[in-house]
Amino acid sequence: LPAEQEFDQRISAVMGIDMGATHTRISLLDRNKKTLDLSKIKTAEIATSDIFPNFKRLIDEKIKQHCLKLTAMVIGLPVTISKDRMKVLSTSNLQIDTQLFSELLVLLQQEFSCQVVFERDVNLQMAYDVHHNGVEDKIVLGCYLGTGFGFSIWLGEGIYTGAHGVAGELGHIPYGNEAEICVCGNPGCLETVVSGMNLRRYYEQKPQGYPLDLFFSQPENQPFIDSFLREGAKAVATTINLFDPDTVIIGGGVVDMKDFPYQYFLELIWVHCRKPLPAEQVHFIKAASSSFNGAIGAALQALKISR
């Protein structure tokens, strides 16, 4: 063996970074998908104009702590990303210049001599869920009802990203409230009706004697909940009739709220699924909720591109 290899005691590892609006979570996995590290910091501390030095410091620390050789890195963001996964197209959910992200990627690749790509956060949640549920070889749809209405398409081998990298914008199909402009700039997107944002807006219309987390536990909210779930179920059924999937994963912050009527939601979806197929065969899984799933999903995706 050449001397260099003989004395290289470093552990080969991949890094997954999930950068949310509030927290940035980090996962390190070795080649056997064993977790080496899970940690989080505040996004405001690293997503500044010094984003590269901030990332470098953070990554150097992890490399030193665990004696690692990084082979790939995937950075998840709540944004749209170019087909080649090298550029951020829009950052409506993060207060930072898109150009800074593109520079960051090139600088990280040079600094750590490993492949670095971006990915949409919802696709990383999907990567985690298909792995966790052992359905990586199936056709799987992920419906994540959180602040917005996230959606992801897994076609057996991996994520379907479309011709330009931006496939799966279920939240922005034009079946919402036409009188309203969506955060994306278009009128009447589904998210103007079916999203955590709209639920919160309804909740905040008048002073309430209970926290938002208990929204689904209040009988007086039933009329709103019924129409909210019916519209959401129509959207999910539409994706099922379009894609004929093996499995549909249902999750997100709204689904995780106390007393969310999950079984009732599935019944509403069923009403609009085409019979006999795919209705009789499609299989539903409730997503496991843990704040680190996106970061672990990012590391799992990094293993796929790692040499």
Residues that bind Zn ion (CB under 5 A): 172, 182, 184, 186, 189
Nearer to Zn ion, 148 or 245 (CB): 148
Q: Is the peptide bond before 223 cis (omega within 30 degrees of 0)?
A: no
- 15-27 core/surface letters (b: 16 or more CB in 10 A; e: else): bbbbbbeeebbbb
Nearer to Zn ion, 35 or 92 (CB): 92
Q: For residues 181 and 218, is the Cβ–Cβ distance under 8 A? A: no
Nearer to Zn ion, 184 or 266 (CB): 184
Nearer to Zn ion, 132 or 172 (CB): 172
Q: How far is the CB of 148 from Zn ion (least distance, A)?
A: 9
Nearer to Zn ion, 252 or 297 (CB): 252
Q: How far is the CB of 53 from Zn ion (least distance, A)?
A: 35
Q: How far is the CB of 57 from Zn ion (least distance, A)?
A: 36
Q: How far is the CB of 231 from Zn ion (least distance, A)?
A: 15
Q: How far is the CB of 73 from Zn ion (least distance, A)?
A: 30
Return contacts of 95-99, CB within 8 angstroms, 24+ apart: 95/47, 96/47, 96/48, 96/51
